Amino acid sequence: MWLRLRQICLVARELKPVEEQLNKVLGINVCFRDPGVAFFGLENALFPIGNQLLEVVAPVEENTAGGRYLDRRGGDGGYMVITQCDEHAPRKARVEELGVRIAHQFDNEHFLNMQLPPKRTLAPLSLKLTNS
């Protein structure tokens, strides 16, 4: 079984200024915007760095998990570690064995997703099994 870092997600009050800073400082450009994050009341931008991604999300609705996290931490910063694995079922079984609550779970034709809350994992963590 393998597990690899797929992306790091940052959270910010406003997306555009962070996009501009990342372009100016690191010379990276947005490669994708995922409309699926609207489900969580967020907008996002993804930036390629090697074979990983840097994602920035920003709340566009009131009372989102991302917005509450910004309030707790007092500003923009790190938000989520997203990993990719080759076998989802044993990972999920281990999470359940450890008694870690699964915050959100979904799957589609491209991937299985399991999001774990920061209280037990020390950082919000998302495990994905992808077809690519």
pTM of the shown model: 0.87
Residues 14-25 have a mean pLDDT of 98
Under a CB-based contact definition with an 8 Å cutoff, are residues 125 and 80 in contact?
yes
E-only strand ranges, 31-73: 42-49, 52-59
CA atoms within 13 A on the CB side of 58: 14
- The separation between CA 25 and the C-alpha centre of its own chain, rounded to angstroms, equals 22
Residues with Cβ within 8 Å of 89's Cβ and at least 6 positions away in sequence, in order, are none
| Domains in the chain, number | 1
131 pLDDT higher than 60: no
* CATH number, domain with residue 33: 3.10.180.10
| 123 confidence band (pLDDT: 50, 70, 90) | low
* Domain ranges, residue 23: 3-130
Q: Residue 79 in contact with residue 9, Cβ under 8 Å?
A: yes
Q: What pLDDT shows up at residue 117?
A: 82
